[in-house]
Every structure is written in C-alpha cells, then in structure tokens.
Amino acid sequence: MEAWLGLEIGNSRLHWAWFAGEEIQVTWDTPHLSRLIEQQLAQCKTFADLPQEILSPDLNTSRLSPLASRLLPIYIASVVPSQTALWQAYPEAHVISLDKIPLSGIYSTLGIDRALAVLGAGEAFGFPVLVIDAGTALTFTGADGDRCLVGGAILSGLSLQLQSLGQKTANLPSITTPEILSLPERWAMNTSEAIQSGVIYTLIASIRDFVTAWWEKFPDSQICFKGGDGKLLLEYLRSLHPEFTDRKIMYEPNLTFWGMRSYLQSFQ
C-alpha cells in the first residue's frame, strides 16, 4: 500500500494523518508553520528532510522510518491561505479544491474542511448526515440522502468566544478551554464561572437547537462531532440532555481524513 500524508490546515493548528493506502496509521496535531520553513520544504527530497516541526513530539518516529528514504505525497485541505502558500514549494504537495468533491449543491466559498468532513461522514455512516465541527469556528454542515449539500451555519468556537470576551472587555479575564474541567454552575457566583456558564450553556443550547432541527428534517440521520472541542461539547450535550444518549450522535475526529480518502478513491 502506498503511503501518503493528509494535512488539514485549520485556523488554530495543523492536523496530520499518515495513511498506508486506505488505512490511517497515526494522527497528530502541530502548530502553524512559520514562513522560515518555506525554503526547507522546497529542498525536501525524502521524508527525512521534512522539518521536525511537522512531527509531533509524542509521535513514535521509528514507526515512520521505513518511509524515510522517499518523498511522501501530502494531500492538503486548507482554510488558511497563508499556510497553504508555504506548501507550494514542496514537490509532492496536492492541494484539494472544492470543484472535484463528489457532492452536489456546494457553494463556491464553502470551506474545504466542511466539504470533506461531511463527505467522509456520509461515506462511513450513510447520507443524510450532519457534521458539527467544534474547531476555531463551530460549524454545522449537512448533506441529504442524494449527497447534496443542505447547508449549515458558522459561529465562534468555544475558545474564540472565551478569548474575545477577555480581549474586548476591561474587567474580564481570558479563560482557556483547559480551565473548563467540568460543567460550570449555571447561576455562577464568580466572574470566571459566570463566563464559562454563559458561553457553555448558550453553546449547548444552540447545538441542541440545530440537532433537533436536523432530526426533524432527517429523523434517522447520523450526527457526527469533530474538532478540538467536539468531545467535550458532546459530553456536555449528553449530560444536559440524556434523551440524546440513545440517538445516532457520536464523536469522530478523523472525518476530514476519511473525506480525503473518499476524494482520492473517486479518481480511481
């Protein structure tokens, strides 16, 4: 099986998957790359020449050593043009564009991450399907039983909501997501918890509203969460709304990579 790397470039960080053919071997995340790396990417002749920055510290690199003597193709789904540009110099970079995604009804400025995630989810669990991506932004993206985009919605993600409150007010601290270890008190008695309560309970209420509206349209449809805050938000949704526990709703971090795999298969 041929080896390749999937790279999803989000607004907070890079998400990587090493594929052996159709199987994901390992995934990891790294920070955005600096412009200084462009030169190094241009001169890559083998996997071993790739900058260390793209490998995670906890990635067992010995697993990758069989690949070290070759140059791996990297399939890129990016919503950050300045980060995409850095890869133009890499000889085996393939930027995935919206026009060849095997879904209908797509609008021209739809995020490629959203298109691939809904494609990956639909291929794995069947169409119709709804994807909730809790990344920098939080997005809802649905497709119907004919693999046609139904549409969706975009709002500020969990960290962005917390950060912007801290940045645009004099007295509010910027809370970070690792500080939210459990569901806050709804009726909070201190500033930090009041911020957490406001952001979390309204986010969960919005998600519940979209989920309910989706199931009114497509009652048996699978709903998939992904993204850095997806696991936490699904956990909170379930604990506040136990009636969702037995419904088809799950967390799956690799939807975009599954979408890349389907995209590549559509050319075979």
229 contacts ligand ADP (rule: CB under 6 A)? yes
Q: Contact between 256 and ligand ADP (CB under 6 A)?
A: no
Helix runs in the chain, H state only: 38-42, 81-86, 112-125, 158-167, 191-217, 230-240, 255-265
**CA 30/CA 163 separation, integer angstroms:** 21
What is the smallest separation between the CB atom of 199 and ligand PAZ, expressed in angstroms? 16
Among 6, 10, 128, 184, binds ligand PAZ (CB under 6 A): 10
Q: Does 6 bind ligand ADP (CB under 6 A)?
A: no
For residue 16, which phi and psi values (nearest 5 degrees)?
A: -115, 145
Provide the token pair at 188: 């909070």
Task: Tell me: does residue 135 bind K ion (CB under 5 A).
Answer: yes
Residue 6 contacts ligand PAZ per CB under 6 A: no
> Residue 135 interacts with ligand ADP (CB under 6 A)?
yes
Supply the DSSP string of 33-74, one letter for each residue.
Answer: PPGGGHHHHHT--SGGGS-GGGS-TTS-GGGGGGGTTSPPPE
Nearer to K ion, 113 or 229 (CB): 113
Query: Residue 162 in contact with residue 175, Cβ under 8 Å?
Result: yes
136 is in an annotated binding site: yes
Token reading at 236: 């909170």
Q: Is 113 a catalytic residue?
A: yes
Tokens representing 136?
Answer: 């920098």
Q: How far is the CB of 79 from ligand ADP (least distance, A)?
A: 8
Site for ligand ADP in 167-186 (CB under 6 A): 177
**Which residue in 58, 113, 144, 246 is the catalytic one?**
113
Annotated binding site: 8-15, 107, 111-114, 133, 136, 191
Q: Which residues bind K ion (CB under 5 A)?
A: 10, 113, 133, 135
